[in-house]
Amino acid sequence: MYIVFEGIDGAGKSTQIQMLKEWLEANGFRVETVVEPTDSEVGKLIRKILQRPDAQSDRVQKTLGLLFAADRMLIMDKLEDESKIIISDRSFISSLAYQGNPEWIGVLNKYVKKPDLLILLDLDVKTSVARTSGEDTFENEQFLTGVRENYLKFAKDYTSEIIDATNGVNKVSSDIKKAVAPYLGICPDCIL
């Protein structure tokens, strides 16, 4: 099963992925995690480009759309491993939400595995900016507002669970476990 975590910056994806992984392992599942951008050559280039002051411009976002698709192709064999649960910190759904332009992103990601389950950690933009020491500018807030709207729109096209990420870490974690349990045949009343 390929489970992807998505959400705007500061939603708490990495902490929640670690908590879900430990819980699934305690329930006897084999779990592997992946993170996008990856640590491949392309992923390293992406991280550099993300630092550019004009990173949110249309031109750079299109460049990123191309690079993210290439970076993702490099880990396709991992994503297709059916012997384990693969939990991913971001996926091509980030490209839909951040880069926009769904038809073009769809073509670039034609051969990419689609998630079996999307966990969207939903967060308002003000909380995101406060949590990430992100730029508190009108442009940044506008950009993230668009990304959040895209997430809520595209989540409908996948098997998805939307989790309120403004709650505390433990509440969010237990909401995620309750949401994931039925997909894996774990008894919801047995959740610790």
User: Rule CB under 6 A: which residues touch ligand TYD?
Assistant: 9, 36, 50, 64, 68, 90, 94-95, 98-99
Q: Which is nearer to ligand TYD, 163 or 186 (CB)?
A: 163
Structure tokens at 36: 């996008």
CA 15, 49, 119, 1 dihedral sign is negative
Residue 29 burial (10 A CB sphere; 0-12, 13-18, 19+):
middle
Q: Which is nearer to ligand TYD, 27 or 56 (CB)?
A: 56
Least gap, CB of 138 to ligand TYD (angstroms): 18
Query: Please, which residues have CB within 8 angstroms of residue 37's CB and are 6 or more apart in sequence?
Result: 43, 46, 47, 68, 71, 90
Structure tokens at 86: 């693969």
Residue found under tokens 């349990």? 181
Least gap, CB of 96 to ligand TYD (angstroms): 8
Q: Which is nearer to ligand TYD, 16 or 95 (CB)?
A: 95
Least gap, CB of 93 to ligand TYD (angstroms): 8
Q: Which is nearer to ligand TYD, 105 or 186 (CB)?
A: 105
